[in-house]
Amino acid sequence: MTPIFVALDTQDVHRAAAIARDVSGVAAGVKLGLEFFCANGDEGVIRIAEHGTQVFLDLKLHDIPNTVEKAVHALAHLQPAILTVHAAGGRAMMAAAKAAAPPQTKVVGVTVLTSLDQADLSSIGVEGSPESQVERLAALAREAGLDGIVCSGAEVAAVRASWPDGFLVVPGVRPASFDAGDQKRIVTPHEALSDGASALVVGRPITQAVNPRRAIMDIAASLEQTPA
């Protein structure tokens, strides 16, 4: 079993189910985000889970603590393996999310989206580098009792050093030969894992492949290779 969660960024439940079936037993699970959830809701999540794969529910909840707590309660019956909230929602919000989650669900705080760079942060009033913002929010998430965070591969080594037992999710991962797309702070799967990632999120390099199962197996093989 690899540490890879396959991002099923689609509204098409039939296509998502087909990929979930293809990667079952090879991937750690599949990641379902806002696009899928808004189109298919609870029933879509349940259908994907029927293929025996863990579900990473990436909804990035961000609201006042009471609202997030109730939202997590409403999602609890889906039994997600991982659930995301925005760390920028603050300590109280994150603590409320964790308290409301099922015991087996890892609640992780999204720090700085991998589509943002320093210029983007500056434009919304966040001073300093993405690295410093990630480290600040990671410390807050840890204080709030979350299981870990989501950060780019550029920051994962620093967070791992300060949070040895944290569950660190690295999205925006791309094999060296694949186009970066809309991601700005990316690394290869091998780099992310070597720097301390607990789980990797890979989307298009797998879902756009002719054979998704073969694609994930190729990425898994690259994780075992020693760089020259």
Q: Give the residue numbers annotated as catalytic, written as ranges.
A: 60
Measured CA to CA, the distance from residue 4 to residue 198 in angstroms comes to 9
H or E stretch covering 204: helix 204-207
Measured CA to CA, the distance from residue 23 to residue 216 in angstroms comes to 7
Contact 6, 207 (CB under 8 A): yes
Contact 83, 75 (CB under 8 A): yes
Q: What is the DSSP letter of 103?
A: T
**Is 11 strand, coil or helix?**
coil
Contact 193, 4 (CB under 8 A): no
Tokens of 94: 């994150």
